[in-house]
Amino acid sequence: MKKMKKIVALGLAATLTVASITGCGNKSGADANTFVIGGIGPLTGDAASYGISVKQGAEIAVKEINDAGGVKVGDKSIKLELKFEDDQAAPDKAVTAYNSLMDNGMNALLGCVTTGSCLSVVDLAKEDGILMITPSGSAADITKNDNVFRLCFTDPLQGETMAAHMITDLGYKKVAVIYKNSDEYSTGVYEAFAAKVEELGGTITTAEAFADGEDFNTQLTSIKGTDAEAIFAPIYYTDAAHIVTQAADLSITLPFFGSDGWDGILDTVTDKSTAEGATFLSPFFSGDPTAADFVAKYQEEYDATPDQFAADGYDVVYVFKAALEKAASTDSEALISSMTQISVDGLTGTGISFTAAGEPQKGAKFLTIKDGAYAAAE
């Protein structure tokens, strides 16, 4: 009898376990009047600030749209719902996050925030046939499937834009580069930049690479020894802050140019005057009068100034809204085909449209640091 009891107990325990891992399977499509946008990005770990910004920006957009009565799809209006999952910027975690979102009835994907995660879920999204828009995944391969679109510029496009700006618009001939060769973003921007500079007739005097660390004296000294007229640094703001400080110490007065990773440098750099005059690409400027409403709402809700990632997240939600309205349906196929027909006025550009290849078409914005503050470059 005792044995019997044990077997029954074991059986019950097993049933419970099974129920707990299979139970949550049928929540999907709970309500035909809500459109579930799944989000994937790092909410913990080294890259957490990007994921959190995207999530908060998207939350504000969802709230705005729902407060205004939802999205008009055909003859009825539906509400949006955002479910955001953490992937710690790791590709394998992104796969489970994606699957967990599908369990919870995701209709379209806002994500992923980081490139590696994007690459690991694009084929899954293709298999499921859902619309996927990444706010900030910038590697070229992400948009190879026709259901994937991106809001930000690709790394190569950033490099080319900056090369054209420096060589053609500003007339520099000789440029030195400092980039991070252990980072795909930095390497991607640098390679395209170098190719474009050659094409436009400029020369790269030296390309100094670094892998990690806070000491850039070697690289800067070697740049100082060349006859470069400007320095291009496609890196993130933490490294950029060290570089401008050490450049000032070495009395390098060459103007700095950067990629969109420079956004945020003024909060990191110790002496703001060292970054004075630096110009970088940025899709979003929080001092822009058109963004004032968003900035105020964001500040009220989260007590922080929104960065470009927040603006990206916000805009992607409005892209979803425009696609839903254009398609007049929540059907994924209809949404995907309507993507190329919409035009959205967002925070990161006016009249944003998308090509069939999944790339955004919008103007590039340059920011420059003037009197210790960000300002729009003319």
Binding residues with other proteins: total (CB under 8 A): 36
Where would I find the beta strands (DSSP E) of the chain?
34-41, 71-73, 76-86, 108-111, 131-134, 148-150, 174-180, 203-210, 230-233, 256-258, 279-281, 344-346, 349-354, 360-361, 366-370, 373-376
* Beta strand 344-346 pairing with 349-354: antiparallel
Asked if 267 touches other proteins (CB under 8 A), the answer is: no
Nearer to other proteins, 178 or 254 (CB): 178
Sheet holding 76-86, edge to edge: 71-73, 76-86, 34-41, 108-111, 131-134, 148-150
Asked if 239 touches other proteins (CB under 8 A), the answer is: no
Minimum Å gap between C-beta 247 and other proteins is 24
Asked if 102 touches other proteins (CB under 8 A), the answer is: yes
Among 62, 90, 125, 269, binds other proteins (CB under 8 A): 90
Q: Which of 88, 91, 121 is nearest to 106 (CA)?
A: 121
Residues 159-188 touching other proteins, rule: CB under 8 A, are: 181-184, 186-188
Asked if 214 touches other proteins (CB under 8 A), the answer is: no
Site string for other proteins, 114-133 (x = CB under 8 A): --x--xx--x----------
Which pair of structure tokens corresponds to residue 57?
A: 């920006």
Counts of helices then strands in the chain (DSSP H, E): 12, 16
Asked if 25 touches other proteins (CB under 8 A), the answer is: yes
Minimum Å gap between C-beta 272 and other proteins is 30
- Neighbour count for residue 83 (Cβ, 10 Å): 15
Among 11, 33, 74, 141, binds other proteins (CB under 8 A): 141
* Contact positions vs other proteins (CB under 8 A): 6, 14, 18, 21-22, 24-25, 43-44, 85-86, 90-92, 95-100, 102-103, 116, 119-120, 123, 139, 141, 181-184, 186-188, 211
